[in-house]
Structure 1
Amino acid sequence: MDHVRESIGIRPMARGDVPELLRLMRSIVNFERGTDFQLTEAHLLAHGFGKKPGFGAYVADRGGGALAGMAVHYEIPFMHNLRPLLMMKWLFVDPQVRGGRIGRRLMQRMALHAQETGHDKICWFVLKDNSPAQGFYRGIGATPDHDWDRWVLTADALEIMANGG
């Protein structure tokens, strides 16, 4: 197993990765208890490539078209300090290859990407009950943001608000 982990390369996603990316995305959404997964290969191709892609990803490449993990990111073009903010949407490593530093290597590549593209930090969300992920992130030097809570206007509330509610 260690040989497999050592042979896994970290690189930017390519069009040929889309089926495997979709599999990994479905896996993390299922883990997060998501119920309305609607992404398709066509969506990923349309929004992840081209002149102005809406997201990017680094992948852990096992070879032979198989991926062991991914770090999916997108950018908020500017904040109050006029600098862009790099948001990590998902970090996911297949359970059978966890513990082999793949997640750490994906985060290292994300950090390098942030520096190369003028970002001074990376932000992301972690489920409150996902203590293994929280421990992993603390282990790489990340800290929770105790100043902010995530708020949501759900579909029903959105409809009410849009109609003057």
Structure 2
Amino acid sequence: MRALLLPLLLIACTDATDVAPAESATVAEATPAAEASPATIPDEPPAETTEASDPDLTTPGGLLQALQTAAASGDAAAFEPYLELEPADREMFDEYIAAALLPGGEWHEALLALTVEDLEEAEGGAYTASMLLTFEEDGDTYESAILLRFAQLGEEYRLIEAMMAG
């Protein structure tokens, strides 16, 4: 009896694996991607890393992103690695501009809203980011502006000028 079953078993296995390529492609194409098994979709987002990656300061957009991250931190000292300001600009930045860029400051949301498209190329490969704020006080309308100038120093961009007017 065993001798009779072995040839039948071999024939059955051979027949199961001899599927024409056209038939297998049809089966694969007939299953839409939207019907993928839910088991392939993770239930939870990937775990966040605790280490912040270093910003890419080789582009003006990278510096803008670093300044936005520093502003969101709520700590004025977070701007320090990105500054190469003249003493007068540094004094103005430390006394007025840094606090205005931090959460709760009048310029915080304006800085976070800036994108790479808002950067304008200036002389010598520098870039400027300007923000205009219109506000009312005692029934009068006022405008205030901040101009940030980025320049490449060596391999990386830095904030080289910060002006506030209005």
Question: TM-score normalized by structure 2?
Answer: 0.28
Point out the structure with max Rg over C-alpha: 2
- Using the size of structure 1 for normalisation, the TM-score is 0.28
Greater per-residue helix proportion: 2
